[in-house]
Structure 1
Amino acid sequence: MASSRDRQRKLARAKLDRQLARRAAAAKRRRQIQAGVGAAVVLVLIAAGSAWALGAFDSKPGQKAAEDVCVWTPQDAGANTNLKDVGRPATTGLPTAGTRPMTVTTNQGAPITAELDLASAPCAAASIAHLAGRSFYDNTTCHEITSEGALRCGDPSGTGIGGPTYSFYNENVPTPAPSPSASGAPKPAPAYPKGTVAMIGNPPGTNGSQFLLFFKDFDPAEPKYPVIGTVTGGLDVLEKIGAQPTVDNGSGAKVKPKTDVVIQSLTVGEVQNAPATSAPAASPSPSAG
């Protein structure tokens, strides 16, 4: 009987050893699989990170995603009923080199033409082109002849606080001129020479649609208007407008031209003097925005 029990114990022991061995082997296989999966995940993450850094997930193979050129800050038309909603310009793909021609046709004679500087003021040019393409400026009145020697235009409400339902920051404000030198050095050019085109915001720095056309030199101690371009034609018409008397604008300020200066149309053309790849189409046709 003893020998029979010994044999049974040996058989049971052997069976248990086999079970333990199988369990150990299975556990080892699981560890190997987990280790392999973990390594594969790490490799995938490394590869994905490298691909992302190299631009593999960008919209166009081999190129980085387009970056915002301009930021348009929404304005509340409910709080300011003088604002007009015609949508907002694009933020990417805007030209930042060359010029764009702007033509302002008024009821005062030949058109006033200008070049918008895309390198120094790409957002102002984009905004004016966007608004022009939606007839924002058409049949509006230039409501002020400023004491600084400029014609102020671009507010459909004629109040000085109107514009689109967005704003953008200053881009190209001139630096103050240095103090005159005792050595007799020539006087520097004014911050705003005659023929300058500049934006004007209310308050300053919140530009929208309003702009200034300077018909004489203006050289303040602290410039505040961002320069966006230069008049190229019709300066004599602008000077004639600037020479006319002013009357009360209805709020007690004697700044309104005695004879209404009406912008019959304002258009912005295609990019010039820049690589063709940076030139978008001319102002889009009018739409609802």
Structure 2
Amino acid sequence: MASSRDRQRKLARAKLDRQLARRAAAAKRRRQIQAAVGAAVVLALIVLSSAWALGAFDSKAEKKAAADVCVWTPQDASGNTNLKDVGTPATTGLPTSGTRAMTITTNQGGPITAELDLTSAPCAAASVAHLASRSFYDNTKCHEITTEGALRCGDPSGTGIGGPAYSFYDENVPSAPEASPSATPAPGQPPAYPKGTVAMIANPPGANGSQFLVFFKDFNPAKPAYPIIGKVTGGLDVVEKIGALPTVDNGSGAKVKPKTDVVIQSLTVGEPTTAPTASPSAG
């Protein structure tokens, strides 16, 4: 009998050991699963935190840096004392369509009004507007009445080499007209620079600053070089009157200096507009 009871106790003990072993194994598996889940959660949090830091969940994507519309090249004012440092215009966010009104008041009669072409010459318009905002042109002289039929203005020094301490590239230079057999523009073609045209002039060519031309008669060269920036919309009769003034030697042998001072008392530029404006007139 004792032997039978011993066997039953051993069997019961073995069964209990197996149950305990199974429970221990199950508990171990649970711990492993919990550890794996915890590690996955931690990894997910790390990934989400990194993504958040990098802006993946920003409600608005960051805008790309705006591209430059114009480039302003610094000029050495210490090497040319006729240059005047008044800062530079903006390079981005500039209007590239429509027009801006420009008003020139001189000592020679009523105001001369013009429109600057923002589509064809946005950088020239931006430069003129910037300089006007700094009163750069005020109380300066138009120092030449050119042999090409234009007033040359915008150089405070009156030397032809003055301007701001920056320059910018050519825009909107007319194409060369179709040549006749004599290598001059064929007759009947519209002029490259009709009367009333406003254009930049640079010294050296291509390094535009502040100087500009206002044509009081048609000009049609074989090789156009002046970038057109706008046209006169009013006061063309004043421009023609100034163009008829007698001229004297400018000190370098050229008889282009107005005998009577032509002073720009003020030059202002209005805000950009896309509305149609008046065509050039003689009034």
CA contact (8 A) 2:153 2:211 kept: yes
The equivalent residue for 2:112 is 112
Alpha-carbon distance in 1 for matches of 2:257, 2:78: 27
Deviations 1:66-124 (A, max 9, x none): 22111110111000000011111111111111100000000000111100000000111
Deviation, structure 1 residue 40 = 5.2
Q: 1:132-157: CA deviations, max 9, x gaps? A: 11110000000001111110000000
Matches within 5 A, 1:219-238: 219-238=220-239
**Number of the residue aligned with 1:206:** 207
Distance 1:207 1:268 in 2: 18
State the distance in 2 between where 1:166 and 1:257 align.
Answer: 28
Distance 1:93 1:245, change over 3 A: same
Q: Are residue 87 (structure 1) and residue 87 (structure 2) matched?
A: yes
Provide the C-alpha distance between the structure 1 equivalents of 2:57 and 2:140, rounded to a whole number of angstroms: 52
Report which stretch shifted further, 246-255 or 170-179.
246-255
What is the DSSP-based 3-state SS (H/G/I as helix, E as strand, rest coil) of the residue aligned with 2:130?
helix
Corresponding position: 1:57 with 2:58: no
After superposition, residues 150-189 of structure 1 pair within 5 angstroms as 150-180=150-180, 187-189=188-190
The residue identity in structure 2 corresponding to 1:260 is D
Measured in 2, the distance between the counterparts of 1:50 and 1:116 equals: 44
Q: Is residue 217 of structure 1 aligned with residue 222 of structure 2?
A: no
* Larger radius of gyration between Structure 1 and Structure 2: 2
The whole-number CA distance in structure 2 between the counterparts of 1:169 and 1:93 is 18
- Residue 128 of structure 1 aligns to a residue whose secondary structure is helix
Question: Measured at CA, do residues 51 and 75 of structure 1 come closer, stay the same or move farther in structure 2, by a change above 3 Å?
Answer: farther
In the alignment, is the contact (CA less than 8 A) between 1:180 and 1:187 conserved in 2? Answer: no
Structure 2 counterpart of 1:225, one-letter code: Y
Question: 5+ unaligned residues in a row in structure 2: which ranges?
Answer: 1-35, 276-283
> Would the aligned equivalents of 1:84 and 1:163 in 2 still touch at CA under 8 Å?
yes
**Match in the other structure for 2:74:** 74
In 2, Cα distance between equivalents of 1:51 and 1:265 = 53
Report matched runs for 1:132-151 at 5 Å: 132-151=132-151
State the distance in 2 between where 1:151 and 1:254 align.
13
Provide the C-alpha distance between the structure 1 equivalents of 2:57 and 2:188, rounded to a whole number of angstroms. Answer: 56
- Alignment RMSD, CA only? 3.4
1:155-179 superposed Cα distances (whole Å, 9 cap, x missing partner):
0000000000000000110001123
Paired positions, count: 243
Instruction: Map Cα deviations across residues 22-64 of structure 1 (whole Å, 9 max, x no partner).
Output: xxxxxxx9xx99xx79x959x95xx969999xx8232xxxxx4
- Partner letter of residue 167 of structure 2? S
CA–CA separation in structure 2 for the residues paired with 1:262 and 1:87: 24
TM-score (norm 2): 0.75
List runs of 5+ in structure 1 lacking aligned partners: 1-28, 59-63, 275-289
Amino acid at match of 2:61: A
Distance 1:103 1:224 in 2: 25
> For 1:170 and 1:216, how far apart are their aligned partners in 2?
23
Q: Which amino acid aligns with 1:97?
A: S
- Name the SS of the counterpart of 1:269 in structure 2: strand
Aligned partners of 1:258 and 1:186: how far apart in 2? 34
Counterpart AA for 1:96: T
CA contact (8 A) 1:138 1:263 kept: yes
- Contact 1:51 1:57 (8 Å CA) reproduced: no
Q: Following the alignment from structure 1 to structure 2, what is the Cα–Cα distance between the partners of residues 98 and 120?
A: 9
Q: Are 2:179 and 2:222, in contact at CA under 8 Å, matched by a contact in 1?
A: no
Secondary structure class of the residue paired with 1:131: helix
- TM-score, length of structure 1 as denominator length: 0.74
Contact kept? 2:82, 2:162, Cα under 8 Å: yes
Deviation of 1:187 after TM superposition, in Å, equals: 2.2
The code of the aligned residue for 1:213 comes to: V
Report the Cα offset of residue 251 of structure 1. 2.5
